[in-house]
Amino acid sequence: MRVISEVGAGADAPAAHGGSAEPTTGGPDFLDALRARDPSEDRGAARDLYGGLIGSWEGEVVDHLPEGPRRQSAEFHFARVLEGRAVQDLWIVPARSARGSAPPIAGNRYGTTLRVYDPRIDAWRITWTNPVTGTETRLVGRRVGSQIVQTGADADGRLVRWVFAVVKEDAFHWRGEVSEDGGTTWVCETEFFGRRSPAAGHGS
């Protein structure tokens, strides 16, 4: 580590939806209703804090472990949702192309973040959920200088700080830090390095 400062119904069960078989996916109507093309105008000046991340990305995750760094492939997808009042993303490690039928247990992530702007605090309320491990983390995100800084606490009560240290047109760098001493010192546990997917343009 580096210290830095800073279910299924039975066969006789009645079918849902007026007797028709239950669909296996949400269908295009669900996705169309969920996604939004533009940020909502009623979100104020901070409505597009995460706008530079909209689209699809590929890259790498580095978990800084006591025995040394663990590197895996990763993919990320960001979209505006809920009439443009929120941004939702997917973080997948390893990437789908490398997951196979039995992805590794250690470092396995297939989770989503919902980021909703709250005008009462002029910041974004963030909920990250990884069903693979049952992890849920809640944070608050704001711009601090050129960075997007998201702060909260994990299930063990440690302070956490997740930082988009760099967001460019074609690349981003994300840092996950924890503090065991109330914020005096921080340890970088994880880094994500993303690059814009060739087939996906900005804002796609």
**Alpha carbons 34 and 55: distance in angstroms, whole number:** 15
Q: How confident is the model at residue 203 (pLDDT cuts 50, 70, 90)?
A: low
Give the mean pLDDT of 167-183: 97
Whether 2 has a pLDDT exceeding 60, the answer reads no
Q: What one-character DSSP code corresponds to residue 38?
A: S
- Class in CATH terms, 2-6+27-196: mainly beta
Condensed to tens digits (0 to 9), the pLDDT of residues 121-160 reads 989 999 999 999 999 999 999 999 999 999 999 989 999 9
Partners of residue 56 on adjacent β-strands? 77
Contacts of residue 157, Cβ cutoff 8 Å, sequence gap at least 6 = none
pLDDT in tens, 38-69: 888 776 666 679 999 999 999 999 999 999 99
Whole-number Å distance between alpha carbons of 141 and 158? 17
Q: What is the pLDDT of residues 95-104, one digit of tens each?
A: 999 988 777 7
Q: How far is CA 130 from each of CA 89, 97, 114, 170, 201, rounded to the nearest angstrom?
A: 12, 19, 12, 26, 27
